[in-house]
Amino acid sequence: MSSDSPSQTARRLAARALDTTAENPWPLRLLSSKIDQYVNRMSPLWVEGQVVQLNRRPGANLAFLTLRDTDADMSMPVAVQARVLAAMATPLEEGAHVVVHAKPTFWPKRGSLQLQADDVRPVGVGELLARIEHLKRILAAEGLFDADRKVPLPFLPRCVGLVCGRESKAEHDVVVNAHARWPSLRFEIREVAVQGARAVAEVTSAIAELDADPAVEVIVVARGGGAVEDLLPFSNETLVRAAAVCRTPLVSAIGHETDSPLLDLVADYRASTPTDAAKRIVPDVVEERRRLAQARQRMHLAITGRLRAEQRGLDQLRSRPVLASPHALVTVRAEEVDRLRTAARRAFAWRTERASAELRAAHAQLRALSPAATLARGYSVLRTDAGAVVRAATDVAAGQRLEALLSSGRLGVEVVSASTKEGDPADV
């Protein structure tokens, strides 16, 4: 017998969901039936996840758990026979990483989807390490671990962001040791889950939040030691990539020195322990003061040593004769100048006397050869009005006026006659 109401049987329902309209909708039971039919056609499959909630009631045939994706905020309820859990070699606990063989089932009355499991197997440590190694090779090929991507840590940050567990020993180690080294350091602390299903999302969110804070100069992600399964979130691809894009220098302080999650490789600095991270992010104020005192002492010694060396150099210069007796050089030069001046005077006097003697001899010779000496002996020189010297009788004519130049004085004469015969004097 059909359960449809008279109004529904009177109209034809849409054959497909795409064909429904506001005037011709599907009843809810039809939708649930369609979903149930679709889900029932799905084959059983193996699915991987982390157990975040486990409910087992004593004497009950079924146990219920919640399986959560390790990389995304998604979960699904799983129903499993109690005998399946009892047959496991290691008791199943919350936080375990498992693979489940199950078939999706849909409950039409509640409109809920769950998995019906018939086999639950824990993921072994060896397999987890193999997966981490495979992811490590992929990230290394992308260059996320390259040294040139590392950002140097600041020498003295004013504010440090700390991502750690709630009231954890790691937080205590970082804060106490850092304040012991530099008391004025300020912390921005984000307490998050550092293991379990929520660890990846909360740690990733905390890193992004601190990276966006301009006051934070260094970010430290710290967690104490633990089993390989406990440290799995810090080898998660989502978290590692979030750390890779962090612009603020990042310090990884996960586990003990022997632990090496992938976050250590992508971080700008890997600290072996949270205490080591505290020693790395800030200098030791006592040590810095000691180094400052040593530097000042070295500067003092260097300056005093330089002054002493310069003083020795000055003393050596002052001990030299020229500086011990500054007038000695002048005295020696003055004596040399006097000697040269005396020699110069003697040479000048000798040259002068010699030149005077030569001049007197030349003067006597000149006087002897001078026409004036001839005139003094009674001779005269006749010159025409034009000043030409009369050398022959033919140079003048009778009646010509001449000038007679005597040894003392001059005479004006007139030519009476002139003989052209050689040896005959001319009458004047």
User: Is the residue at 1 inside a domain?
Assistant: no
Confidence bin at 1 (pLDDT 50/70/90): very low
Which whole number is the average pLDDT over 129-147? 86
* Whole-number Å distance between alpha carbons of 104 and 40: 7
Q: Is residue 263 included in any domain, yes or no?
A: yes
279 lies in a domain?
Answer: yes
* pLDDT number for residue 8: 47
Q: What does the pLDDT look like over 295-354, one tens digit per residue? A: 999 999 999 999 999 999 888 888 877 777 777 778 878 888 999 999 999 999 999 999
149 and 253 in one domain?
A: yes
Q: Judge whether 9 lies within some domain.
A: no
The pLDDT of residue 3: 47
Q: What is the pTM of this model?
A: 0.53
Strand partners, 101: 46, 119
pLDDT digits over 159-177, tens only? Answer: 999 999 988 899 999 999 9
> How do beta strands 62-68 and 75-81 pair?
antiparallel
Residue 393 shares a structural domain with residue 293: no
| Token pair 């079924």: residue | 62
- pLDDT band at residue 251 using 50, 70 and 90 as cut-offs: very high
Higher pLDDT, 422 or 374: 374
Mean pLDDT of the chain: 85
Q: Which two tokens stand for residue 59?
A: 């004497």
Residue 291: both structure tokens together = 């180094």
Assigned domain for 2 exists: no
CA within 13 Å, CB half, 62: 9
CB count within 10 Å of CB 245 equals 11
Considering the domain boundaries, does residue 304 fall inside one? Answer: yes
Look at residues 123, 155, 188 and tell me which one is the last residue of a structural domain: 123
The DSSP result for 181-237, as a single string, is H-TT-EEEEEE---SSTTHHHHHHHHHHHHHT-TT--EEEEEE----TTTTGGGG-H
Query: If you average pLDDT over residues 105-123, what whole number do you get?
Result: 88
Same domain, yes or no, for 205 and 303? no
Q: Indicate whether 360 belongs to any domain.
A: no
What tens digit of pLDDT does each residue of 405-421 get? 887 888 888 888 766 55
Helix ranges (DSSP H) in 59-160: 82-86, 125-141
Distance CA 64, CA 62 (A): 7
Torsion angle, CA of 24/27/33/35, rounded to 10 degrees? 70
> Taking 50 as the threshold, does the pLDDT of residue 357 lie above it?
yes
Which CATH number goes with the domain that contains 262?
A: 3.40.50.261
Cα 150 to chain centroid distance, Å, stands at 14
Q: Are residues 250 and 299 in the same domain?
A: no
Q: Which two tokens stand for residue 257?
A: 């020195």
pLDDT band at 126 (very low <50, low <70, confident <90, very high): low
Could you give the strand order of the β-sheet that contains 401-405, starting from the edge strand earlier in sequence?
Answer: 381-383, 401-405, 410-414
Burial class (CB within 10 angstroms; exposed 0-12, middle 13-18, buried 19+) of 385: exposed
Please check whether residues 76 and 133 belong to one and the same domain. Answer: no
In a domain? residue 50: yes
Number of structural domains the chain divides into: 4
Residue 179 and residue 282: Cα distance in Å, rounded? 9
Pair 278, 137 in one domain = yes
> What does the pLDDT read at residue 6?
47
User: Is residue 139 domain-shared with residue 249, that is, in the same domain?
Assistant: yes
Least confident segment among 53-57, 98-102, 393-397: 393-397
Q: What is the DSSP letter of 261?
A: -
Beta bridge partners of 75: 68
**Residues 197, 101 within the same domain:** no
Q: Which segments of 212-325 does DSSP mark as H helices, in order?
A: 237-244, 262-266, 274-281, 285-318, 321-324
The residue among 426 and 207 whose pLDDT is bigger is 207
Average pLDDT estimate for 214-237: 85
Q: Which of 226, 284, 217, 288 is nearest to 251 (CA)?
A: 217
Q: Is the domain of 315 the same as that of 411?
A: no
List b or e across 345-383, with b for residues whose CB sees 16 or more CB atoms inside 10 angstroms: eeeeeeeeeeeeeeeeeeeeeeeeeeeeeeeeeeebebe
What are 58-65's contacts with CB under 8 Å, separation 24+?
A: 65/92
pLDDT at 125: 64
Range of the domain at 310: 286-337
Per-residue model confidence as pLDDT tens digits over 180-222: 999 999 999 999 988 877 888 899 999 999 999 999 999 999 9
DSSP 140: H
